[in-house]
């Protein structure tokens, strides 16, 4: 059973922010698979079981705030008899340019509080992740203010495309493995195609 965990902050005021890219990527998967992420499992909302890439999966949106995302893990592992190797975390990353995504097998939190919390809860940084770049090619103010601000109109198209690619990358990761997903998605730069017609 795969646990696909999208990171974000609960509440309508955060729904359109950069920090909620993980939530939105999962909502795209849910819409495609015709499932709802509306069942409670401790401090998380989960979907019913669905099939992604030919395997069973559950979509998870922690309802803690971002910096406590790891608090959902223990109950999920208990309920689904899962371990860290069954986890894929989808989240925003300010260290990556807007328009890029990165599939990774493991690694440090890189300053991301949601990932720090999950690493702490698991006692390991060895879990699959899909990072959605949110760093625009302009100067931003404070990090916290930026990530919690609504996605700017100028960034919306790239964010939409990146979230869509991240949703597809989840399926590739499950169906074809991490090496294939990395080779397929890590070299993509959506900024290269944005100005082209069609």
Identify the DSSP state of 6: E
Q: Say whether 19 is catalytic.
A: yes
Count CB-CB contacts under 10 A for residue 169.
Answer: 24
Tell me the sheet residues that pair with 46: 39, 60
Choice among 3, 6, 10, 19 that is catalytic: 19
Contacts of 193 (CB under 8 A, 6+ apart): none
**Distance linking the first and last C-alpha atoms of the chain:** 38
How many angstroms separate the Cα of 99 from the Cα of each of 31, 34, 198?
Answer: 22, 27, 17
CA distances from 62 to 6, 44, 70, 145 (A): 8, 4, 8, 21
94-to-10, 74, 109, 113, 172 alpha-carbon distances in Å = 20, 27, 12, 12, 24
Looking at the annotation, which residues are catalytic? 19
């Amino acid at each position: 059973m795969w646990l696909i965990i999208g990171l974000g902050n609960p509440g309508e005021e955060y729904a359109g922010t950069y920090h909620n890219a993980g939530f939105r990527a999962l909502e795209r998967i849910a819409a495609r698979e015709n499932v709802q992420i509306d069942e409670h499992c401790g401090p998380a909302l989960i979907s019913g079981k669905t099939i992604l890439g030919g395997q069973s999966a559950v979509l998870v949106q922690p309802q803690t705030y971002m910096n406590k995302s790891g608090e959902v893990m223990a109950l999920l592992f208990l309920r689904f008899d899962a371990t860290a190797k069954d986890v894929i975390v989808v989240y925003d990353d300010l260290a990556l340019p807007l328009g890029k995504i990165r599939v990774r097998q493991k690694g440090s939190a890189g300053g991301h509080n949601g990932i720090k919390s999950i690493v702490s809860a698991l006692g390991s940084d060895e879990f699959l992740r899909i990072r959605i770049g949110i760093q625009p090619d302009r100067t931003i103010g404070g990090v916290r203010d930026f990530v919690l601000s609504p996605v700017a109109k100028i960034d919306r198209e790239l964010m939409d495309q990146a979230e869509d690619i991240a949703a597809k990358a989840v399926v590739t990761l499950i169906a074809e493995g991490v090496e294939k997903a990395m080779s397929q998605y890590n070299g993509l730069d959506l900024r290269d195609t944005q100005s082209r017609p069609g």
